[in-house]
Structure 1
Amino acid sequence: MGMNEHDQTKYIFAQSIKDLMAKQPLDKITVTDIVKHSGMTRQTFYRYFQDKYDLVNWYFEKLADKSFRQIGNSSTLKEGLVKKFTFLLNDQIFFMQAFQSKDYNNVENYDYQCILEFYKQIIHNKIGDIPEDIMFLLKMYCHGSITMTVEWAIRGMKESPEMIADLLIDALPPKLEDLLSDLR
């Protein structure tokens, strides 16, 4: 599948911010830095992105499509989670930095929304409307999952994707486990 020129341009900015993130925290990087490093114009940057967080989230989205979104094609939650953590590990510098950002539009909040929607969809497909008690457990579980994912990333991703997946599955509340243990 060929990339269109818009995506190619966006990837140039993504590569630029990744290079910069290898040297300094995301919150300190400016659009000017990104533009200079990429050799593109400021105008071009703003044609595609509102700000640097928009760029980071776009890149996260692209990575998610290649990995996390494939969870639905996995037969078990474990397979899906291992895919997700493997993809984070493959872009370790980027995610260690991205997850340290405290901006409201950061990847942490974005990832929370992604997994919440994803799990809601699975549960909805199985039981229809989601009761309030299950919704509460799901939100709480997603918050906990993301917090632990961020901690894992920031500490340098020492545990294997398999181990983190197992730990997150162990942490599932029993009512959710019944609904999420197999994804089909």
Structure 2
Amino acid sequence: MNSKKMLAESLEKLLMKKNLDDIPVSEIVVGTSLSRKTFYRHFRDKYDLASWYFAQFYEASFGRITTGLTWEEALLHYLDIYQEKYIVLKNAYASRDVNGLRAYDISVTKKTYEKYLTIKGADINSETMRFAIDIASCGGTDMVIKWLLSGMKMEKGKLVCLLKQTLPNDILKYID
């Protein structure tokens, strides 16, 4: 197993017990056979590691709207992973740090929408489309986080339906 995966597994185990803000890098490293120096060779800090961890399943789920999954299929797969990793993600998103997972999630969602819409032929550089992408990225991410932190009480299919219905029309017209 490579060093990044070892560090991510250690972080995941720690996130089963506590908030990301409360986990020092030294504790992440202790859970591996690696050194602190190796940690910093791969990651700037624990938030960078958390983002890398998140990216591994993001790309395999919602990120796949750019490679053939429908928007709904990709989002449902994404929410399946949220249910599977509920405690870990709840503790990661509980971070109050500006570099926390929420900021990364919004950023990667924005890039995914940009790529998807470009593939679909949209002009992603117009002021209106830039604004629509920001709304979809920030609003969608925040609603999924809210769903997670509130205990995922709403049925996934309903959440997907509501998120799609409230997408800006400039984006919705490109969603299959």
TM-score for both structures, normalised by structure 2: 0.89
The Cα shift of 1:129 comes to 4.7
Tell me the secondary structure at the aligned position of residue 38 of structure 1.
Answer: coil
Q: Is the 8 A contact 1:97 1:154 kept in 2?
A: no
Moved over 6 A (4+): none
2:87 matches 1:86: no
Pairing 1:1-184 to 2, within 5 Å after superposition: 5=1, 8-125=2-119, 126-179=121-174, 181-182=175-176
Q: Measure the CA separation in 1 of the matches of 2:4 and 2:129.
A: 39
Separation in 1, partners of 2:53, 2:32: 15
Shift of 1:158: 2.6
Amino acid at match of 1:110: Y
**RMSD after superposition:** 1.8
Equivalents in 1 of 2:157, 2:44: separation in Å?
A: 36
1:152 deviates by 1.1
Helix, strand or coil at the partner of 2:31:
helix
Percent identity, aligned pairs only, is: 30
Number of aligned residues: 175
CA distance in 1, matches of 2:77, 2:18: 28
Q: What's the CA shift string for 1:62-106, capped at 9, x where partnerless?
A: 112222222223452111211211122222122111111121221
Q: Within 2, Cα distance between the matches of 1:73 and 1:173? A: 22
Q: Structure 1-normalised TM-score?
A: 0.86
Mapped to 2, the partners of 1:80 and 1:66 lie a distance apart of 9
Contact 2:76–2:160 (Cα < 8 Å) also in 1: yes
| Higher alpha-carbon deviation: 124-133 or 101-110 | 124-133
Structure 1: runs of 5+ lacking an equivalent: none
Q: CA deviation at 1:157?
A: 2.1
**Structure with more relative contact order (C-alpha pairs < 8 Å, separation 6 or more):** 1
- 2:157 aligned partner, one-letter code: E
